[in-house]
Structure 1
């Protein structure tokens, strides 16, 4: 089996193959220009050298999303620090006009699982839900398990491991011919 390109659905129902590559300084800096992203990816928090940032891009090099990943100190799992769609596909920023691309979150989490496997963390990933709606989505659609938050009263934290991680990851596997 091989890991195939990530496929997103466009708003016109067409599918597009995207790449996830290390984010460039230009990718990160673009979050500060119009149309502004929800998060400034040049912040001190996301600029930590231990945080690895990746960019999801369309074939025409259009920036679709960014993801920030960190291997935990003991290589127990990969922490998906942050994942964000570009303004044109962010449902909280474009609710009236609709999103340009769909499936971004699943692809960024699947990439996190691959990143975890590649770095000896067995495919285990941990991430947080920014909203209750996302928490329901992670639990119902990905079968992610809620785990204790890092801090009291913090955001809802989830883990994908074992069969549940494999189920999402395997969406992007194809048989070799």
Structure 2
């Protein structure tokens, strides 16, 4: 079995194979160029060496999303600090998205990263909005966990069978 990530092209409703690899300095710098992303990925907050940044690109090399991941608690779980879609697919920046399923595949990659890091596939992440919180609960069966700060964003965990169910969606019998 191989991890075979894909997203969906909105125009044709077709699966598009993608590549997830360590983000390059150029990938991060692209977030500050037009069209600007919501977040400058060269910021001090994301510069911490313990944060591992990955890019999601089409096979042609078009940057679609970035994700920031960190192994936590003596390899207890992977914390997904931040995920962001490129402006053309970010629902807060455009009414008509180019691609769908970006967050789902980036969380599935977090599960893979967790497995590869010896964390059993457990991931923890936050919902930036109440709509995302409902989406995580309904579609991923994520479980709400305690937050670090009172009044902060809702935190969710995917573990065990719920994590496997999401991860399994992106497995293939043959290497792409």
Task: Give the length in aligned residue pairs.
Answer: 174
C-alpha RMSD of matched pairs (Å) = 1.1
- SS of equivalent residue, structure 2 residue 45: coil
Q: Shift in Å at residue 127 of structure 1?
A: 0.2
- TM value normalised by structure 1: 0.96
Runs of 4+ in 1 over 3 A off after TM superposition: none
1:103-122 correspondence to structure 2 within 5 Å: 103-122=101-120
Whole-angstrom distance in 2 between the partners of 1:174 and 1:43? 36
How big is the shift at 1:153?
Answer: 1.0
Trace 1:4-153 onto structure 2 (pairs within 5 A).
4=4, 6-12=5-11, 13-95=13-95, 98-153=96-151
Q: CA deviation at 1:176?
A: 4.9
CA distance in 2, matches of 1:3, 1:93: 30
Cα distance in 2, alignment partners of residues 94 and 72 from structure 1: 34
Structure 1: any 5+ residue segments left out of the alignment? Answer: none
Gaps of at least 5 residues in structure 2 are none
TM-score with structure 2 setting the length? 0.96
Distance 2:64 2:173 in 1: 27
**1:59 CA drift (Å):** 1.4
Per-residue CA deviation, residues 52-97 of structure 1 (Å, 9 max, x unaligned), is 00000011100000000000031110000000000000001102xx
